[in-house]
Structure 1
Amino acid sequence: MTAQDDQPIHDNPTGWVAAHIRTYVETGGKRGHLYQGRRSLLLTTRGRKSGLLRRTALFYGEDDGRYLLVASNGGAAQHPAWYLNLSADPDVTVQVGTDEFPARARTATPEEKPPLWRAMAVIFPLYDTYQRKADRDIPLVILERATP
């Protein structure tokens, strides 16, 4: 999946997220990369039910050239839609600042998750709070650039 699929991209409808995405997109990533003092990226997935391209903005971390995301959904009982979508189709499009590229997503294994989680909790300490209140194991997602 690429953003060049000539399909419209449907942005997250939540007001503040939609405004953040709009700023990011309208400036080609020159604005919006930093949001509330944290680095954010745009993730485009294919809807698992609709087949539509869906875009959201997320805080991210980095590890050895890979991008890290936490599927916290604010500690809600269910996984966020973007996580369910990439679980069904791991080929995604990512924009980090002005750099847009195809990537492949996967959930961190139980063995690799603890140090990556700690790194993400340093970036956004509420992730630990969300995990304590959630009745599910919050997934940590690893994004790796697709090789041409």
Structure 2
Amino acid sequence: MSGTNDWNAKIIEEFRANEGRVGGPFEGADMILVHHVGAKSGTERVTPLVHFPQGEGRTVIVASKAGAPTNPDWYHNVRANPRFAVEVGVETFTVEATELVGDERDELWEKIKAASPGFAEYERKTDRTIPLIALTRLDSAA
């Protein structure tokens, strides 16, 4: 687990040093830092993720866990505590998370896989339905 934590810490540091941009495998991707609160621990954690902006005040994150058989820990945390802060670029603001289901999820999932084929590979590696989480901004831009 410490390997993942070290990896995330480096991405978070690069994100904050470069106004939300990172290189390596995430070069050119829209990145977001999700400040989620542990469902059991109550501890705030920060996870860097790729996100897919959907228009004014809404973006979507993908609980892919690189195609692992279980959902990522952050998924359980945002389901249990759906209001939290995110960092996008140099802005930090509060969002509310909602899991997308049915046709809305399926249509968006096809668009995400077309835009980022790595997610299609993750889908092939797992039997679970990969959750999509919509983040809706709660506070207005300053």
Q: Same fold (TM over 0.5)?
A: yes
- Paired residues of 1:30 and 1:97 also in contact (CA < 8 A): yes
Aligned 1:72-83 pairs, distance under 5 A = 72-83=64-75
What amino acid is aligned across from residue 104 of structure 1 in structure 2? E
Q: CA RMSD in A?
A: 1.9
Segments of 5+ residues of structure 1 without an aligned counterpart are 1-11
Aligned to 1:43: 34
Shift of residue 132, structure 1, vs aligned partner: 1.9
Identity of matched residues, %: 32
- Paired residues of 1:75 and 1:130 also in contact (CA < 8 A): yes
Shift of residue 145, structure 1, vs aligned partner: 0.3
- Paired residues of 2:93 and 2:139 also in contact (CA < 8 A): no
Aligned to 2:92: 100
> Under a length normalisation based on structure 2, what TM-score does the superposition of the two structures give?
0.86
Shift of residue 64, structure 1, vs aligned partner: 2.5
- Paired residues of 1:33 and 1:41 also in contact (CA < 8 A): no
- Paired residues of 1:121 and 1:127 also in contact (CA < 8 A): yes
> Structure 1's 20 and 52: CA in aligned 2 closer, same or farther, altered over 3 A?
same
- 1:139 pairs with 2:131: yes
Aligned to 2:6: 15
Shift of residue 13, structure 1, vs aligned partner: 4.6
User: Deviation per CA, 1:54-100, whole angstroms, max 9, x where unpaired?
Assistant: 10100111113211111000110110011110011101211110111
- Paired residues of 1:102 and 1:146 also in contact (CA < 8 A): yes
- Paired residues of 2:65 and 2:72 also in contact (CA < 8 A): yes
Distance in 2 of aligned mates of 1:53 and 1:98 = 20
- Paired residues of 2:11 and 2:48 also in contact (CA < 8 A): yes
Q: SS in structure 1 opposite 2:53?
A: strand
- 1:30 pairs with 2:23: no
Whichever structure has more helix as a proportion of its residues is 2
Segments of 5+ residues of structure 2 without an aligned counterpart are none
After the TM superposition, which parts of structure 1 deviate over 4 Å for at least 4 consecutive aligned residues? none
User: Deviation per CA, 1:86-129, whole angstroms, max 9, x where unpaired?
Assistant: 01110121111011100000110212112211222133211112
- Paired residues of 1:33 and 1:96 also in contact (CA < 8 A): no
Distance in 1 of aligned mates of 2:20 and 2:88 = 11
Distance in 2 of aligned mates of 1:98 and 1:119 = 27
> Under a length normalisation based on structure 1, what TM-score does the superposition of the two structures give?
0.82
